[in-house]
């Protein structure tokens, strides 16, 4: 197995160095695009969290840590001593353990499950996750979910939000009635706000924009426009920042303009949101300063390790099946779709091509998408997002949106209902493979590949169409 990973984490690497290799949002997408184009890279997934950055590669490329440093534009020599590189099943084992919370500051913390899932979704969206990496990360997510539901880890601070609460309570004496400003309304910001509000604090959350019905504000919390955050600090007891901003959300110069400034600041972001120089004006905590919540008991650790090993073995079994002497070709099957319901979720270019093909076979096409890029005169178009129950009565289902989570959900729903499904952006989630269709006089042929060379499939289909056209 040509699997390799390199990573650094909070146990070995100072935050000042770690934040140089933090990727999120558009930066993560650009990194994946760059990595995908490197010589020898077959697949890649980049896991970047507050506590770790890890690059998983398949193929025959340079060592992952070198590629990471290059894409981030940082010094290889400075960071080289902090990286750990693993190969093969050792790399796979490490990921399943990470997903179970075995390498977190808090044993068994479950936020890492979402982070591993998000890393895979980003790679699938960027088309950088090959079947091996997709399978590995899915088994890791399964391991994390099992760890969360099957192992009860005893701890006082189950998350960074809990640690933040405990630090503020220790510094302020109590949280009852204390005024706290949370800068950032993403997942971490909302978690911190909810935890502090439940502990009795008066919490305000900054918002860059507000869209009715879309923006989620933690219950009981006030809101402040992001651009008014400095003025809102007046009279606050504490400030927390948790954004993905590439710039500081709070600088020493800005803090000096506040007369009755907070006495404590907690920075939950990597890279840091709060300028380190602010420590001259108030007490500052970053993610490393929050510290760990304890190692857990030997029994808890053993139970988590057992789950990680079990999912690793399941991945290994899957891998052995895929790497048998020769991967079996896909069996062609031809269906009579006359009058049958086919549900297609998505309205973009790929969906339009699928619709164009299906129109030739007499099926009743139902398209579910807010917008549609082809004519809708001979099909049923539900101009809205996909909902549970939309696949009822379908003979086939096709997921072809530009949203990875929606495509995955359609695939899962179809399989639960026993409906064959083609998922346009993930081969591993398909139960049938939408072929290149070649139609002649009373003849039809379909062409699919092993999933490795779509250009070759297109060339083969073109040649077959020519033969069918010329056939007497």
Residue 99 predicted with pLDDT over 60: yes
What percentage of the chain has pLDDT greater than the value 90?
Answer: 61
- For 280-305, the pLDDT digits (tens) are 999 999 888 876 555 567 788 888 99
Average confidence score pLDDT of the chain: 88
Q: 424-460 burial by CB neighbour count: b if 16+ within 10 A, else e?
A: bbbebbbebbbbbbbbeeeeebbbbbeeeeeeebeeb
Residue 294 has what pLDDT? Answer: 54
Residue 210 has what pLDDT? Answer: 59
Q: Evaluate the omega torsion of the peptide bond into residue 150 and state whether it is cis, within 30 degrees of 0.
A: no
Q: Which residues are known catalytic residues? A: 50
pTM greater than 0.95: no
Contact of 254 with 248, CB cutoff 8 Å: no
Residue 427 predicted with pLDDT over 60: yes
Q: 3-33 burial by CB neighbour count: b if 16+ within 10 A, else e?
A: bbbbbbbbeebebebbbbbbbbeeebbebbe
Residue 157 has what pLDDT? Answer: 41
- For 324-355, the pLDDT digits (tens) are 655 667 788 899 999 999 999 999 999 999 99
């Amino acid at each position: 197995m040509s699997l390799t990973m390199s990573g650094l984490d909070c146990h070995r690497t100072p935050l000042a160095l770690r934040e140089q290799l933090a990727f999120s949002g558009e930066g993560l997408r650009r990194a994946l695009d760059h990595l995908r184009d490197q010589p020898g890279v077959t697949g890649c997934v980049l896991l970047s969290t507050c506590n770790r950055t890890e690059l998983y590669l398949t193929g025959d490329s340079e060592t992952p840590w070198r590629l990471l440093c290059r894409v981030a534009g940082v010094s290889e020599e400075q960071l080289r001593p902090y990286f750990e590189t693993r190969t093969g099943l050792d790399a796979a084992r490490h990921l399943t353990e990470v997903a179970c919370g075995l390498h977190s500051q808090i044993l068994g913390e479950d936020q890492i499950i979402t982070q591993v899932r998000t890393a895979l979704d980003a790679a699938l969206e960027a088309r950088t996750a090959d079947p091996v990496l997709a399978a590995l990360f899915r088994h890791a997510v399964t391991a994390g979910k099992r760890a969360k539901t099957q192992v009860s880890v005893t701890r006082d601070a189950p998350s960074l939000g809990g640690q933040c609460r405990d630090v503020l309570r220790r510094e302020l004496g109590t949280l009852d009635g204390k005024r706290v400003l949370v800068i950032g309304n993403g997942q971490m910001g909302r978690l911190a706000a909810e935890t502090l509000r439940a502990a009795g604090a008066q919490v305000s959350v900054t918002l860059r924009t507000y869209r009715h019905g879309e923006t989620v504000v933690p219950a009981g919390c006030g809101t402040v426009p992001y651009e008014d955050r400095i003025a809102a600090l007046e009279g606050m007891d504490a400030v927390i920042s948790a954004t993905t901003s590439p710039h500081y959300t709070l600088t020493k110069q800005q803090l000096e303009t506040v007369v009755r400034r907070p006495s404590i600041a907690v920075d939950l972001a990597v890279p840091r949101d709060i300028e380190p120089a602010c420590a001259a004006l108030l007490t500052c905590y970053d993610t490393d300063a929050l510290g760990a919540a304890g190692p857990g008991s030997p029994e808890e650790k053993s139970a988590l390790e057992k789950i990680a090993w079990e999912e690793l073995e399941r991945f290994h079994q899957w891998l052995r099946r895929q790497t048998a002497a020769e991967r079996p070709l896909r069996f062609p099957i031809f269906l009579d779709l006359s009058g049958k319901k086919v549900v297609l979720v998505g309205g973009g270019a790929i969906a339009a091509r699928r619709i164009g093909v299906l129109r030739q076979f007499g099926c009743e096409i139902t398209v579910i998408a807010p917008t549609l890029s082809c004519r809708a005169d001979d099909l049923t178009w539900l101009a809205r997002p996909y909902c549970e129950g939309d696949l009822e009565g379908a003979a086939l289902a096709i997921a072809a949106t530009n949203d990875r989570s929606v495509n995955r959900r359609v695939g899962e729903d179809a399989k639960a209902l026993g409906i064959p499904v083609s998922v346009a952006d993930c081969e591993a989630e398909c139960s049938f493979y939408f072929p290149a269709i070649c139609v002649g006089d009373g003849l039809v042929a379909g062409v699919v590949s092993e999933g490795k060379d779509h250009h070759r499939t297109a060339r083969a289909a073109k040649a077959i169409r020519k033969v069918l056209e010329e056939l007497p």
